[in-house]
Amino acid sequence: MSIAGVDIDLFSTAVLEEPWAAYAALRERGPAVYLDRYGVWAIPRYDEVFAMLRDHQTFSSAPVPALEPERPDMEAARHSILGSDPPRHTTLRAVLSEQLSPRALRTLRADIETQADAVVAGLVERGTYDAVQDLARRFPVEVVARLVGLPEDAREPLLALADAAFNTFGPANELTQASWSRLPEIGGYIAQVMTRETIAPGSWGAAVYAAADRGDISEPDAIQMMNAFIVAGMDTTVNSIGSAIWLLAERPDTWAALREDPSLVRSAYEEALRYESPVSFFCRGVTRPTEVGGVQLDAGDRVMLLFGAANRDERHYADADRFDVRRNPLDHVAFGGGIHGCAGQGLARIEGPAVLGALVRHVEFLELAGEPSRHLNNAVRGLERLPIATRTS
């Protein structure tokens, strides 16, 4: 079977804002659809995305899982954990295994829930606020920055730096070009703020430097791991929390159901991850000839795994365009899967439900208090503003 290329521009402003029609058209078109404009195979259906994530020998993450991995601005990302294959990947990943183990996370849960409760209780007193600016952007930055061991007064630029890095995973469009000037700041930030001297003892950052001191990883690898924390760990979680609150604020009946049965909070967060996948895509390089759903791919081809499209695939999720807090779609691909499956998903799955759980406890009525606006980024999806009103009774 051969499938002709199509000219859908996944990075136009209109599609970045509302990608669902383009995703549906791609899924309809086939399991692998060549995008002439970008010279890449889009993979829009669930089954193929799921399988490719688990076949790292055929679908390599090196040199970097971006759309145009050879571009000069990808230089730093080319050395990251995201852009590595085994055996290097195995070594880098092992550095985080202790900090991110279920046991280690269990001990963090109560703290994070208390922190979420305090932030939400303060906002609820105000009545009307911006759930993105005042809550979603604030909470994960505090949590991750504390875990990584960043000094309190140095957290402000983190989201802007992560946003710039994510833009460069897309084509060299205006969003990417506007981000170029910020890339050197990421290196500068790590060099100044995330050093052995400044990072808090006992933190994840300290564990990374300890691994370098033992000789488990090189010094540049340690820097790259720091980079991964600040880029991968915050924007993504911010977007997931903002989207979840938006989806609930638009659905009074769903909010009432959560108030009635707070045990639905976890499932609601997973459904928000499926429905509004915070990471739109990552790419892979094809290492050997292979067939995907009847489409022949050659060594050297690139594939773009569309997590957002796969998570709305009707072949896998019945009524996929419906937000259903009872679905509990634990097999969604919002965190990827396979060896690169999100290293921070255990943490995100504590942070997101902690915020939603605190809102459910404190807020009887949750509603929009103005038009939400979208934040445009080539690779991550989320809101810029979400004015909401919350009332306790």
Nearer of residues 123 and 244 to ligand HEM, judged by Cβ: 244
Nearer of residues 248 and 334 to ligand HEM, judged by Cβ: 334
Q: The dihedral of CA 237, 243, 244, 249: what is its sign?
A: positive
Task: Tell me: does residue 136 bind ligand HEM (CB under 6 A).
Answer: no
Task: Tell me: does residue 228 bind ligand HEM (CB under 6 A).
Answer: yes
Nearer of residues 16 and 348 to ligand HEM, judged by Cβ: 348
Window contacting ligand HEM (CB under 6 A); options: 115-123, 153-161, 228-236, 362-370: 228-236
Window contacting ligand HEM (CB under 6 A); options: 15-23, 33-41, 232-240, 381-389: 232-240
Query: Are the CB atoms for 45 and 152 separated by under 8 Å?
Result: no
Task: Tell me: does residue 240 bind ligand HEM (CB under 6 A).
Answer: yes
The two tokens of residue 261 are 């049965």
Q: Are strands 40-43 and 302-306 parallel, antiparallel or unpaired?
A: parallel
Task: Tell me: does residue 335 bind ligand HEM (CB under 6 A).
Answer: yes
Element (H, E) at 16: helix 13-17
Task: Tell me: does residue 61 bind ligand HEM (CB under 6 A).
Answer: yes
Query: Which residues 6+ apart lie within 8 Å of 67 measured at CB?
Result: 38, 40, 169, 170, 171, 283, 302, 304
Query: Are the CB atoms for 135 and 160 separated by under 8 Å?
Result: no
Task: Tell me: does residue 227 bind ligand HEM (CB under 6 A).
Answer: no
Among 340, 355, 360, 390, interactor with ligand HEM by CB under 6 A: 340
- Which residues face 279 on adjacent strands? 380
Give the position of tokens 């957290």.
155
Touching ligand HEM, residues 196-215 (CB under 6 A): none
Query: Which residues 6+ apart lie within 8 Å of 213 measured at CB?
Result: none
Between helix 158-167 and helix 219-232 the angle, nearest 10°, is 100
Nearer of residues 137 and 340 to ligand HEM, judged by Cβ: 340
Task: Tell me: does residue 309 bind ligand HEM (CB under 6 A).
Answer: no
Closest to 167 measured CA to CA, from 390, 381, 388 = 381
Taking the C-alpha atoms of residue 262 and residue 364, their distance in angstroms, rounded to an integer, is 12
Query: Are the CB atoms for 277 and 311 separated by under 8 Å?
Result: yes
Among 149, 233, 242, 329, interactor with ligand HEM by CB under 6 A: 233
Binding mask 6-35 for ligand HEM (x = CB under 6 A): ------------------------------
**Which residue's CB comes closest to ligand HEM?**
344
Q: How far is the CB of 270 from ligand HEM (least distance, A)?
A: 10
Task: Tell me: does residue 237 bind ligand HEM (CB under 6 A).
Answer: yes
Q: How far is the CB of 346 from ligand HEM (least distance, A)?
A: 9
Task: Tell me: does residue 357 bind ligand HEM (CB under 6 A).
Answer: no
Nearer of residues 65 and 387 to ligand HEM, judged by Cβ: 65
Window contacting ligand HEM (CB under 6 A); options: 21-29, 68-76, 116-124, 233-241: 233-241
Taking the C-alpha atoms of residue 159 and residue 138, their distance in angstroms, rounded to an integer, is 10
Query: Are the CB atoms for 135 and 355 separated by under 8 Å?
Result: yes
Closest to 99 measured CA to CA, from 202, 228, 188, 234 = 202
Taking the C-alpha atoms of residue 223 and residue 194, their distance in angstroms, rounded to an integer, is 9
Touching ligand HEM, residues 66-85 (CB under 6 A): 81-82
Residues near ligand HEM (CB under 6 A) are 61, 65, 81-82, 93, 144, 228-229, 232-233, 236-237, 240, 278-279, 282, 307, 334-336, 340, 342-344, 347-348
